[in-house]
Amino acid sequence: MSLKVHLDYLIEKVENLSPIEGLASLADQFSGKIVFSSSLGQEDQVITQLITTNMIPIHIFSLDTGRLFPETLDLIARTESKYNTKIKVLYPERESVENLVDDIGINGFYDSVENRKACCYVRKVEPLKRALQGNSIWVTGLRAEQSANRCDMKKLEWDEANQIIKFNPLLDWTYEEMISYINNNHVPYNPLHDKGFISIGCAPCTRAILPGEDARAGRWWWEDSKKECGLHAR
């Protein structure tokens, strides 16, 4: 039976649960088949805290693109130490990265949207597909407030590209709610957030935002696009 046919039942069962309750319910129903992809952003750090402190059996992984900020890599170690957990780190395929750089140059992603998406695919999308393979539930830290193209997402939805059910437990959280939770629970976070970096990705593709700018404005600031890398294609 296709995994997709379970979606309506799961929406009815999980939609109105708290993030902790939703994570625990899905982990129970899909034991060993539920994973959380953390980009080490503030939302993801909240979810990591929920999973680890409540001992919810969900595997946590992260993608190291090879171009991350040192502060992001340091946060992996700090998070593992604080919560006595292990975050599996996945890397892009060496040959694919070498071919990409040969084709577009080391910083060729600045030259066109197509080049940037090709870089994102090699460094992020392909490793993600490997991580999701064989699983049924993909937990993410997406929030509707983050961008216009995320405001119509649902807590539980079908991800056609990866043939998996995606669960967004913090979808309806506001930025203020998230920051309050981080402060009240002493959740470790990237110090770049305190310097105006709201959405943090690869170092060459991320800048601090200006007062009044959209939270995603600091990502791929040189192009006019939907500010997505392809991990959450719709």
CATH of the domain at 51: 3.40.50.620
State the number of CA atoms in the 13 A half-sphere of 92 facing the CB: 22
Q: Residue written as tokens 């961008």?
A: 147
The two beta strands, 164-167 and 156-159, are antiparallel
Q: How confident is the model at residue 149 (pLDDT cuts 50, 70, 90)?
A: low
Does residue 102 belong to any structural domain of this protein? yes
Which one from 120, 202, 205, 229 is the annotated catalytic residue? 229
Does residue 27 belong to any structural domain of this protein? yes
Q: Is the pLDDT of residue 232 over 80?
A: no
The tokens for 225 are 């696009």
Residue 88, beta-bridge partner list: 61
Q: Residue written as tokens 């975050």?
A: 87
Does residue 213 belong to any structural domain of this protein? no
205 classed as catalytic = no
Cβ-contact 89, 103 below 8 angstroms: no
Least confident of 21-35, 51-65, 83-97, 152-166: 152-166
The pLDDT value recorded for residue 229 is 60
What 3-state class would DSSP assign to 53? helix
**Distance (Å, whole) CA 159 – CA 174:** 24
Number of domains composing the chain: 1
Q: Is the pLDDT of residue 174 over 90?
A: yes
Cβ-contact 195, 208 below 8 angstroms: yes
Q: Is the pLDDT of residue 9 over 60?
A: yes
The answer for residues whose C-beta is within 8 angstroms of residue 83's C-beta and 6 or more apart is 48, 49, 52, 53
Which domain covers residue 187, as residue numbers? 3-205
Q: What is the mean pLDDT of the chain?
A: 92
- Percent of the chain having pLDDT more than 70? 93
Does residue 140 belong to any structural domain of this protein? yes
Does residue 186 belong to any structural domain of this protein? yes
The pLDDT value recorded for residue 97 is 98
| pLDDT single digits (tens) 23-67 | 999 999 999 999 999 999 999 999 999 999 999 999 999 999 999
Torsion-angle region of residue 106: left (phi > 0), alpha (psi -120 to 50) or beta?
A: alpha
Does residue 118 belong to any structural domain of this protein? yes
Does residue 163 belong to any structural domain of this protein? yes
Does residue 210 belong to any structural domain of this protein? no
E strands within 58-198? Answer: 59-63, 88-90, 137-139, 156-159, 164-167
Give the containing element (helix H, strand E) for 215: none
The pLDDT value recorded for residue 230 is 53
**Distance (Å, whole) CA 71 – CA 208:** 14
Residue 63, beta-bridge partner list: 90
The answer for residues whose C-beta is within 8 angstroms of residue 106's C-beta and 6 or more apart is none
The pLDDT value recorded for residue 153 is 84
